[in-house]
A and B are shown apart, each in its own frame.
Chain A
Amino acid sequence: MSLIPSPRLMSFLAFLGIVFLFLAHPLGVSSQIGDELQSRFNGVIIEVHRAESAGATGSEINDLAGQLNKALELNEALNQLTGPNDGQKRQALLSQLNDRLSSLQSTAVEVDSTASRRESFNRILGYTSGAIAALLGTVAYALGTVLRRRYRIKRMFQMRVIPK
């Protein structure tokens, strides 16, 4: 009987080794959380940018940026909790961060729709004002023409004929 293990046994041992390595290395889980957070952060940033492009006011953006910075602080605090006994704290912070991101997302969507409506209204108001101004200008022109004509007629009747 040979002491060299068969290729099948070797591949089984290698498989066991890989499984053990995966189980012993819980970093994969935290990186998944990180990826999920990253994509949520990205979604929130995109929504904030949308609200900004829609014409959100300075104070609305100020509020959103403040909330984003608070979320960033929470994320930073979360990243600093790396100890083995920090599980509970980590979970609590993670749930806080998730809540903040959800609230931020909904606020940004709200600001976006409010700003869009306000911007559309302002645009319509602008163009309507333009049309009204053009109409008023035309009326003024017409009135001016009529007055000028009347003045000319009046002047014509007031003219004296001086014989030379």
Chain B
Amino acid sequence: MQNRRNLLVVFITLLVIFELVAYVVTTPRPSAQFFQLYALGTNHLATDYFPNSDPNIRLGEVVPWFIGVANQMGNVQLAVIRVKLGNQTISPPNQSEAVPSPAPTITEFERFIQNNETWEIPFIWQISNATTINGSTEIVELRIGNQTFQENGLLAQNGYNYRFIIELWTWNEDSASLQFGWLSGTEHRVAWLQIWFNATSPT
């Protein structure tokens, strides 16, 4: 009788241990959900963003960057990279309230990225047309990759302090639309970058 009771205790103990192991093995562990957004310079490094490390960009001067997004959300995500052109006075995105920058969108790139996947695009740009009137420079035309984009109304004093604002937008299933940043649980997070340059030699 004592023997049987011992065996039952052993069996139940082993059952609990092995079933716990089976549970741990078959249940996916929750992990932190996030995106990474980055911009790299010519040599795929976080330096050398401008030719000869000179942020004063001349007309027609080609500036090659790489913009990338890494998906760590645990599933396939639609990522949209919005590239905006701003000057010194335009507001950047509001991180705490997840509000995008009001700067005009020049272009955007979109792709579905798998979990743990990094999507990188070459972002090769140049100022193809700009004007200067009374000390105010205006970038009129930008060339990004093979496409040309017209711009107007964005002035900078002597061409100083222009910036590219790069925002990450994702798909929100609940609203069936794009949202700035992403939802991690109930928290709204955003990722954006800005790189300053001067258009000081437009002619």
Contact = CB atoms under 8 A, between A and B. Distances in A.
A69 B22 contact: no
Contacts of B25: 126
Contact of A130 (B22, B113, B171): B22
Contacts of B21: 130
Given A69-B111, A133-B14, A134-B15, A42 B76 contact: no
Interface stretch (A6-14, A25-33, A59-67, A155-163): A59-67
Interface residues of A, number: 34
A133 B112 CA distance: 43
Interface residues of B, number: 28
Chain A residues touching B, majority SS: helix
B10 interface: yes
Interface string B99-139: 00000000000111111000000000000000000000000
B10 A130 contact: no
B176 A131 contact: no
Interface in A37-71: 38-39, 41-42, 45-46, 48-49, 52-53, 58, 61-62, 64-65, 68-69
Interface string B24-41: 011000000000000000
Contact of B10 (A38, A72, A122, A137): A137
Nearest to B76: A65
A64 B22 contact: no
23 contacts: A38-B177, A45-B76, A45-B171, A46-B173, A48-B75, A49-B75, A52-B75, A65-B114, A72-B78, A72-B110, A76-B110, A127-B26, A131-B19, A133-B14, A134-B14, A134-B19, A137-B10, A137-B18, A138-B7, A138-B14, A142-B7, A145-B3, A145-B6
Interface of B: 3, 6-7, 10-11, 14-15, 17-19, 21-23, 25-26, 75-76, 78, 110-115, 171, 173, 176-177
